[in-house]
Amino acid sequence: MTPSPNNTLQQQMSVRELSKITNNSSNIDQNYGQSMTFSLQTELTNNSISEEEEKQRRPWFIWIMSIIQVCVFIVELIYSSLLTTRPIETNISLNPLFGPNPYVLINIGASFSPCMHAIDGITNNVSATNFPCPNSPTLTNTGCTLSELCGFNGVSNTPNQWYRFIISIFLHVGIVHILFNLITQLLIAGEIEKKIGVIRIAFIYFASGIFGFILGGNFAPDGLCRVGCSGSLFAIIALSLLDLLYNWKKTENPKIQLTIHIVNIIINFVLGLLPGVDNFSHIGGFVIGLLLGLAILGSPGNLRRHIKPRLSRSTTKEWNNSPWYKKLFCHRQKQWWAWWL
């Protein structure tokens, strides 16, 4: 049976249409593949840029704090030379860390409990001249009132120089003390600031430093002064340890880094046994660092991801448009919730 001309024409048209559809689909697949390749390349490029930006970040807060602390220490030495005619105390029993005597530190703003709150038997009579003077060369030389020792316009029967909690962070006992703190601050705290940003590092730095002095004021002997940013640095060490433990397998030579942290902690605790340095401040700062690292920063693994949770593309837009309280609780890892439970 011979096919009709109409059927032949329809078959030819069907073949042509099928060929067009096939060509179009192949072009679509090719274009889609190219677009996906371009998208992937763009994503990789963006990631490489972000990593490069992270390397180029500068720890401005840590640098500024270090410069301020060095300048304040120079002021300490000048102030000590004006009061005692010598910038560095030569009596080792007063200061073995090569710095001003503790009474100069108290007068310039060190954390000293009798200047900060009422203590029965000590602050009952602030006009009594049984306190050492800032220029006292020995431990037994008394003749000043509590107001003269504390400075800052003196104190009343209920001392309330609360600002010493903040001032003490910028003060240091001596050259040895500030050198050890600067090494830890520039090497460890600087790297942490690059990962979590200026605002978070500043909040953790001051919160842990203040809480450390509060803890020391409650448990350390009332007659000792306390200075230094060691409480803040112990919080930074706590953050660094969290980051190290949660990324143990991804870290290069983790055992060496852990050993460095342990040695650093031991050295600081040994320094905490000397006058002017307080181990209670170290403990308080470390505890606050752990709590803030778990509560505010999310899971410690987020330290290397700039605190932002890893989201799929479908939820990125929703995340960016979400209010702050939703960002605080959504997409948290299980370790974060386990800590609260």
Residues acting as catalytic residues: 230, 282
Please give the sequence-ordered ranges of beta strands (E in DSSP) within 207-310, or none if there are none. 225-226
- Closest to 296 (Cα-Cα) out of 176, 207, 164: 207
Q: Is 155 exposed, middle or buried (0-12, 13-18, 19+ CB in 10 A)?
A: buried
How far is C-alpha 227 from the geometric centre of its chain's CA atoms? 18
> 142 forms bridges with which residues in the sheet?
132
Q: How many angstroms separate the CA atoms of 186 and 133, rounded?
A: 36
Residue 146 in contact with residue 159, Cβ under 8 Å? yes
Compute CA 107 distance to the chain's CA centroid, rounded to the nearest angstrom: 28
* 142-144 vs 111-112, strand pairing mode: unpaired
Helix/strand/coil for 52: helix
- From residue 294, alpha-carbon distances to 200, 249, 340 in Å are 13, 20, 9
Question: Residue 339: which of 208, 246, 203, 259 has the closest Cα?
Answer: 246
* SS3 state of residue 65: helix
Phi–psi pair at 65, nearest 5 degrees: -60, -40
The DSSP 8-state label assigned to residue 304 in this structure reads: G
DSSP per-residue string spanning 96-128: TTSS--HHHHHHHT-EEGGGTS--TTTSS-TT-
Do 231 and 212 form a contact (C-beta atoms < 8 A)? yes
